[in-house]
């Protein structure tokens, strides 16, 4: 087996494996009635790899992103323009199964070398002849909308660590080195004491977070306990869909907006586990 973690990988984009699976199987095949409507939920549980995904059908649409119904339509990904799904991110497709028994739809991943079928949906039985356009839109989740006119801005810089401290993670253990930080402060560890929040938020108030990636590597930044709305990027046009994770590409700065409507201490970290465990983590306090 290849090593799960390496110091070289942790300091870069992460340590990649050479076997990819869906539901812990290599290219499983799932049978569904021909012509049926199906909801397909895709979750990237890889701790490192940012997947580039698409379906081998045009009879589908993305209906939810990171657990929230899509309000700003997302184009159906293709082999030429796959959708980027970082570690911990989720997306839901609504699709129509092929009409003829035995025909398949593949969930494809663009990997180094050549695309790979991650999983397949195979049509069986008589054609149910369902119509994808007959589906109603999903009802929106009850998320508070931020008031941008009064929102306070907090800036978070994701980059290298100026400190070589070793995190105190208690029974979870440490990787023995630190490479990353948020606002130049690496996470002291899950068992460390006296560690303050990266930001203190007031319950019910609106905020804008400016998320700046100063590194050459991508970071899927995940916030527990709260949902936010992407506003703008210095690199690309962002879809205005509620989420709890934003994938920061190389050198990107993204503004997101939220209402601090859930009291507590909420983890705020990179979902590439080697980045998180070597400093790229912290928490926010809502009180």
Residue 11 to residue 127: CA distance in whole angstroms: 52
pLDDT by residue (tens digit) across 109-167?
999 888 999 999 999 999 999 999 999 999 999 999 999 999 999 999 999 887 767 77
Question: What sections of the chain are H helices per DSSP?
Answer: 7-10, 273-277
* pLDDT above 90 for 225: yes
Q: Are 247 and 273 in contact (CB under 8 A)?
A: no
Domain ranges of the chain: 20-134, 152-286
Q: What is the model's pTM? A: 0.92
CA distances from 11 to 167, 194, 222 (A): 15, 26, 19
In percent, the amount of the chain with pLDDT more than 90 equals 82
Residue 209 to residue 179: CA distance in whole angstroms: 23
Strand 245-248 vs strand 219-223: parallel, antiparallel, or unpaired?
antiparallel
State the pLDDT at residue 230. Answer: 98
State the pLDDT at residue 112. Answer: 84
Residue 249 to residue 235: CA distance in whole angstroms: 8
Quickly state the pLDDT bin for 194 (edges 50, 70, 90). confident
185 contact partners, CB below 8 Å, separation of at least 6: 163, 198, 282
Beta bridge partner(s), residue 201: 286
Residue 227 to residue 224: CA distance in whole angstroms: 8
pLDDT by residue (tens digit) across 75-85?
999 999 999 99
* pLDDT above 70 for 279: yes
CA distances from 264 to 141, 192, 226 (A): 21, 18, 10
Quickly state the pLDDT bin for 223 (edges 50, 70, 90). very high
Residue 33 to residue 199: CA distance in whole angstroms: 51
* Lowest-pLDDT choice from 124-128, 174-178, 181-185: 174-178
Query: For residue 270, what are its two tokens?
Result: 């990179």
Total number of residues shown for the chain:
287
How are strands ordered across the β-sheet holding 51-55?
29-33, 115-124, 104-110, 51-55, 83-85
CATH domain 20-134 topology? Immunoglobulin-like (2.60.40)
69 contact partners, CB below 8 Å, separation of at least 6: 63, 137, 138, 139, 140, 141
Give the 3-state secondary structure of residue 31: strand
Residue 254 to residue 243: CA distance in whole angstroms: 13
State the pLDDT at residue 171. Answer: 66
State the pLDDT at residue 23. Answer: 96
The closest alpha carbon to 10, from 214, 250, 231, 276, belongs to 276
Torsion angles phi and psi, residue 98, rounded to 5: -60, 155
Q: For domain 152-286, say whether CATH 2.60.40.420 is its number.
A: yes
The closest alpha carbon to 286, from 256, 257, 271, 266, belongs to 266
At residue 247's C-alpha, the angle toward residues 117 and 114, to 5°, is 25
Topology agreement, domain 20-134 and domain 152-286: yes
pLDDT by residue (tens digit) across 238-278?
999 999 999 999 999 999 999 999 999 999 999 999 999 99
pLDDT by residue (tens digit) across 90-109?
999 999 999 999 999 999 99
Q: Are 265 and 284 in contact (CB under 8 A)?
A: yes
Give the 3-state secondary structure of residue 270: strand
pLDDT by residue (tens digit) across 8-35?
998 899 999 888 999 999 999 999 999 9
């Amino acid at each position: 087996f290849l090593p799960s973690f390496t110091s070289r990988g942790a300091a870069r984009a992460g340590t990649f494996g050479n076997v990819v699976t869906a539901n812990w199987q290599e290219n499983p095949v799932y049978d569904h009635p021909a012509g049926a409507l199906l909801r397909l939920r895709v979750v990237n549980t890889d701790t490192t790899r940012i997947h580039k995904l698409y379906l081998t059908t045009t009879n589908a649409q993305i209906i939810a992103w990171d657990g929230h119904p899509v309000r700003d339509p997302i184009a159906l990904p293709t082999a030429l323009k796959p959708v980027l799904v970082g570690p911990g991110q989720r997306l839901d497709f609504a699709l129509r199964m092929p009409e003829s028994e035995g025909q398949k739809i593949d969930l494809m991943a663009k990997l180094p070398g050549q695309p790979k079928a991650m999983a397949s949906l195979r049509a069986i039985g008589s054609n149910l002849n369902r119509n994808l356009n007959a589906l109603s839109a999903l009802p929106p989740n009850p998320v508070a909308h931020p008031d941008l006119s009064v929102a306070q801005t907090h800036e978070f810089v994701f980059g290298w660590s100026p400190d070589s401290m070793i995190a105190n993670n208690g029974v979870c253990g440490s990787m023995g080195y630190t490479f990353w930080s948020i606002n130049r402060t690496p996470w002291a560890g899950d068992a460390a004491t006296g560690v303050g929040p990266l930001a203190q938020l007031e319950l019910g108030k609106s905020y804008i977070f400016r998320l700046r990636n100063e590194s050459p590597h991508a970071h899927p930044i995940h916030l527990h306990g709260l949902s936010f709305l992407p506003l703008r990027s210095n690199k690309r046009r962002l879809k205005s869909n509620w989420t709890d994770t934003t994938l920061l590409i190389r050198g990107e700065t993204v503004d997101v907006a939220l209402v601090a409507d859930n009291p507590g201490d909420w983890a705020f970290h990179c979902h590439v586990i080697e980045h998180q465990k070597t400093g790229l983590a912290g928490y926010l306090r809502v009180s």
